Amino acid sequence: MPALKEISFEYARQIASVKGLQPSKVIGTSTLRFSKGTSDKLQVITWDEFVRTANSRNLAVYESGGWMKLMRKH
Per-residue model confidence as pLDDT tens digits over 48-74: 999 999 999 999 999 998 889 999 997
Q: Report the C-alpha gap between 16 and 35 in whole angstroms.
A: 9
Q: Residue 59 CA to chain centroid, in angstroms? A: 9
Is 70 within 8 Å of 31 (Cβ atoms)? no
Residue 68 is inside which H or E element, if any? strand 67-72
Closest to 25 (Cα-Cα) out of 46, 8, 11: 46
Identify the three-state secondary structure at position 13: helix
Per-residue model confidence as pLDDT tens digits over 16-44: 999 999 999 999 998 999 999 778 999 99
Q: What is the pTM of this model?
A: 0.88
